Amino acid sequence: MSLFSAMAVSASGLAAQRTRAELLVENLANAETTRTPEGGPYRRKDAVFASQPMAPSFSSLLESHLQEGVAVQEISVDMRDPERRYLPGHPDAGPDGYVAFPRINPAEDMVDLLGASRGFEANVAAVSSVKDMIMRSIDLFK
Amino acid sequence: MLDGLSQVLERYMDLLSSRQKLVASNIANADTPGYKTKDIDFQSEFRSALHGIAPAPIEIGGLKVRNDGNNVSMDREARLLAENGMRFNLASNLLRSRIQAVRAALQPGGNT
């Protein structure tokens, strides 16, 4: 049944949007983080999406490749210079009294988070619609 | 055992599920840079589906392209998602009534 592969496509959308939301939440949580294992302040991360043909399942080998799922192709790290704030008392302050803070704008992350949340909801709607169609097909037996 | 109309309904439901797959792809790729909305020309594909030809997806023009090269319109996809679901619902109800008619004929003296 080809409808199950439509669910796989929507599931890939759900996974991608969830990954994006996780990164955005991580950015918000680390908006003031000045220490990381790699050294220096935290750097903003974002997901880059790329469409990809769904892995051929047994039944779809016979069909043309109609549908494309989505996957997180890479996680881009913001390499801009950190924001410098004058805080001489801070333990991470340099000799000039400036502390490097992550260049994170919480408003930007909140807006992206809303986008990810809406994208997730749209995929949920697609799953439930396709599920309804599958149930309708099964009801033909009754 | 089932008549020609049931065969047509079956093709119709097949084509609707193909279209629903494309809608699901478009929704999943709503934030993918450079992705272009895909759809099938339902009328002409339905005619060729009656001859057993698989549908070929085409890119839809006339949609607003965003800065990242993506032109998925969520309104359009939501409408198509609902429309396909309702059309499928209608077709499956029709097909079920055909199947029930055959079943009723098979029942010995029953009125189910």
Q: How many CB atoms lie within 10 A of CB A79?
A: 8
Q: Is B22 on the interface with A (CB under 8 A)?
A: yes
Per residue in B43-85, pLDDT (tens digit) is 888 888 888 788 888 888 889 999 999 999 999 999 999 999 9
Token couple for A70? 């989505």
B38 in helix, strand or coil? strand
What is the pLDDT, as a whole number, of residue B2? 76
Band of pLDDT at residue B5, cut at 50, 70 and 90: confident
Amino acid occupying residue B52 = G
Please say whether the beta carbons of A117 and A24 come within 8 A: no
* pLDDT of B42 above 60: yes
What is the pLDDT, as a whole number, of residue B51? 83
Please say whether the beta carbons of B28 and A69 come within 8 A: yes
Please state the φ and ψ torsions of residue B78, each to the nearest 5 degrees.
-65, -40
What is the pLDDT, as a whole number, of residue A129? 94
Instruction: Give ipTM to 2 decimals.
Output: 0.84
Percent of chain A clearing pLDDT 90 (strictly above): 72
**Which regions in chain A score pLDDT beneath 70?**
1, 55-66
Please state whether the predicted TM-score (pTM) of the whole model is above 0.95. Answer: no
Chain B residues with CB under 8 Å of A3 CB are 17, 20-21
Token couple for A74? 């890479």
Token couple for B26? 């478009």
Place of tokens 């990381």: A36
Contact A125 B81 (CB under 8 A): yes
Contact B92 A140 (CB under 8 A): yes
Contact B16 A133 (CB under 8 A): yes
Band of pLDDT at residue B111, cut at 50, 70 and 90: low
Q: Is B27 on the interface with A (CB under 8 A)?
A: yes
Cα(A49)–Cα(B1) distance, integer angstroms: 49
- Name the nearest CA neighbour of B4 among B70, B50, B37, B49: B50
CA angle A33, A73, A5 (to 5 degrees): 125
Minimal Cα–Cα distance from B18 to chain A, Å?
A: 7
Cα(B18)–Cα(B11) distance, integer angstroms: 11
Q: Which of A68, A136, A142 sits opposite B29 (nearest CB)?
A: A68
Query: Which B-chain residues 31-70 have CB contacts (< 8 A) with chain A?
Result: 31-33, 35, 38, 54-57
